[in-house]
């Protein structure tokens, strides 16, 4: 009898949680810092970013090389090399506080709750194992399938879903026998076979031909609808973001510069960096016919980050204050946030 009150409290808490889940974000990152120790030098790749992702949403994470976008997501997946140090106030994924989980528990989430696909499909598959074998391995682990027949059936099923012709034949083939687009589809199939709630796609189309890029992007979008997953799309390509993302966060020098809905970013961009990025997009429907503009200078060294806004040295509107202190958060509208002294 004495246990009852406690149980009741637990039940209440659980019920509350469930109530929350409808509106609560699938992934919520607060104050994420990642640094690397390299030969006695400290390299700060991510310097305190906050991110929120609603269930079923596609978030585009945009930035140049070295902006920390990929590192931040690998920190969520716990995939960083050993010399990385991750600090965060919280990383909440699907009602779990990742920071309080053990290594093993976090690993078990990978592939089940959250999956990731990478830039280069040519090197992402084990060259010595055929497609069937690699799929079977993932299915056995993440979808708890046991018998050979079950695995085969499910493999064929999922290959069909990602749009692979003649799946029976593919199972026997080795990665080198397949094209880049085909391999990326297979990787997507492997990532999706446990129906993860979150798929992180790290430049999934960068290494592919232009025509294949569009196919893979629309495949991701279809699959998101079918599996009701959320997707975080890491890219340096504003064009890719424009085609499928609902929300966008722009990163620079390990910080978020601006975040908001696709409409906010493309039509009401507040940050000079975002505007510079948009001017640099070739073709598309934005400012058609104008000469492409590049951003002068190069991104800051992560070893010697400036005190103030990292973009200040390249910013056309920079003033003295920008070099001195980091800008704080400015809210422009519902979900549209900006970090700039001088928007």
Partner 1 sequence: MLEFCSDRQAAFAASYLLLIFLISILVFLFRGLDPDKIDVLHKLQPPSPLHWFGTDNMGRDYFARVLYGGQVSLLVGVLAMLCSVLIGVTVGMLSGYFGGLIDGFFMRLVDIFLSIPWLIMVTVFGLLFKKGLLSIILVIGIFSWMDIARIVRSEVLAVKGREYVQYADFIGIPPLSVMTGHILPAVFSTIITASTSTIAGAIMTESALSFLGLGVQQPMSSWGSLLQQSQKYLQNAPYMALLPGILIILTVYSFNKLGDILRVFAEPRVRAGEEDMPREAGGKSGNEETAQEKCGEGRAENPPRKDKEREEAEIPVREASERKETEISAREASEKRGKDE
Partner 2 sequence: MAKYIAKRILKAVPLLLLITVICFVLMKLAPYDAVDALTRPDMSQAEIDRIRESYGLNDPVAVQYLRWLNNLLHGNFGYSLLSHTSIKYDLLIRIPNTILLMLPSYLTAYLLSIPLGLLAGSRRGKWPDKLIDGFCSIGIATPTFWFAMLLIYAFGYRMKLLPILGMHTVGMEKSLPDLLRHFLLPYLVLIFSFLPDLTRFVRSSAIGQWKEDYVLVQKAFGAGRSEILFRHVARNVLIPLITKLGMALPLLVTGAVITETVFSWPGIGSYFVKAVQAMDYPIVMSVLVLSGSLVILGNLLSDILYSIVDPRIRST
**Would you tell me which residues interact with partner 1 (CB under 8 A)?**
36, 38-41, 43, 45, 62-66, 68, 70-71, 74, 81, 83-84, 119-120, 122-123, 203, 205-210, 213, 235-240, 276-277, 280-282, 292-303, 314
Question: Smallest distance from the beta carbon of 298 to partner 1, in angstroms?
Answer: 6
**Structure token pair of residue 190:** 């492997």
Show the DSSP H helices in the chain as ranges. 4-23, 69-77, 103-109, 131-142, 148-161, 167-172, 180-192, 210-227, 238-244, 262-267, 272-279, 320-324
3-class secondary-structure state, position 101: coil
Q: Which does 73 bind (CB under 5 to 8 A by kind): partner 2, partner 1, none?
A: none
Nearer to partner 2, 232 or 278 (CB): 232
Q: Which does 84 bind (CB under 5 to 8 A by kind): partner 1, partner 2, none?
A: partner 1
CA-CA distance, 272 to 254, in Å (whole number)?
A: 17
- Find the angle CA(316)-CA(70)-CA(30) to the nearest 5 degrees: 85
Nearer to partner 1, 145 or 251 (CB): 251
Question: Smallest distance from the beta carbon of 196 to partner 1, in angstroms?
Answer: 22
Nearer to partner 1, 213 or 230 (CB): 213
Supply φ then ψ for residue 2, to 5 degrees.
Answer: -70, -20
Q: Which does 109 bind (CB under 5 to 8 A by kind): partner 2, partner 1, none?
A: partner 2
Let me know how long the chain is. 343
To which H or E segment does residue 230 belong?
strand 230-235
Question: Smallest distance from the beta carbon of 41 to partner 1, in angstroms?
Answer: 7
Residues that bind partner 2 (CB under 8 A): 77, 79, 104, 107-112, 115-118, 120, 123-130, 137-138, 141-142, 174, 176-177, 187, 190-191
Question: Smallest distance from the beta carbon of 299 to partner 1, in angstroms?
Answer: 6
CA-CA distance, 241 to 311, in Å (whole number)?
A: 21
**Residue corresponding to tokens 């001195």:** 324
Q: Which does 299 bind (CB under 5 to 8 A by kind): partner 1, partner 2, none?
A: partner 1
């Amino acid at each position: 009898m004495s246990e009852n009150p406690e149980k009741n409290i637990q039940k209440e808490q659980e019920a509350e949680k469930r109530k929350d889940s409808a509106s609560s974000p699938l992934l919520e990152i607060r104050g994420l810092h990642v640094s690397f120790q390299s030969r006695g030098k400290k390299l700060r790749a991510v310097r305190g970013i906050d991110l929120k992702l609603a269930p079923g949403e596609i978030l585009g994470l945009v930035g140049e090389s070295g902006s920390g976008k990929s590192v931040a997501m690998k920190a969520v997946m716990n995939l960083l090399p050993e010399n990385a140090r991750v600090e965060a106030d919280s990383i909440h994924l699907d009602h779990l506080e990742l920071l309080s989980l053990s290594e093993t528990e976090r690993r078990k989430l990978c592939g089940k709750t959250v999956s990731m696909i990478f830039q280069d499909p040519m090197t992402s598959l084990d060259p010595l194992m055929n497609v069937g074998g690699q799929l079977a391995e993932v299915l056995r682990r993440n979808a708890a399938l046991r018998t050979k027949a079950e695995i085969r059936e499910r493999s064929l099923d999922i290959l069909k879903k990602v749009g692979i012709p003649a799946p029976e034949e593919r199972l026997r083939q080795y990665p080198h026998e397949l094209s880049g687009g085909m391999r990326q589809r297979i990787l997507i199939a492997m990532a999706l076979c446990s129906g993860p709630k979150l798929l992180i796609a790290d430049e999934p189309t960068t290494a592919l031909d232009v025509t294949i890029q569009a196919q893979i992007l629309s495949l991701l979008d279809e699959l998101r609808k079918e599996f009701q997953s959320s997707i975080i799309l890491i890219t340096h390509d504003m064009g890719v973001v424009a085609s499928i993302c609902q929300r966008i966060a722009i990163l620079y020098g390990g910080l978020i510069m601006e975040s908001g809905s696709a409409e906010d970013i493309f039509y009401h961009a507040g940050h000079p960096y975002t505007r510079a990025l948009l001017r640099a997009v070739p073709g598309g429907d934005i400012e058609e016919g104008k000469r492409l503009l590049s951003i002068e200078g190069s991104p800051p060294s992560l070893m010697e980050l400036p005190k103030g806004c990292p973009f200040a040295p390249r910013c056309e509107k920079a003033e003295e204050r920008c070099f001195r202190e980091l800008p704080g958060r400015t809210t422009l509208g519902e979900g549209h946030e900006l970090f700039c002294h001088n928007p």
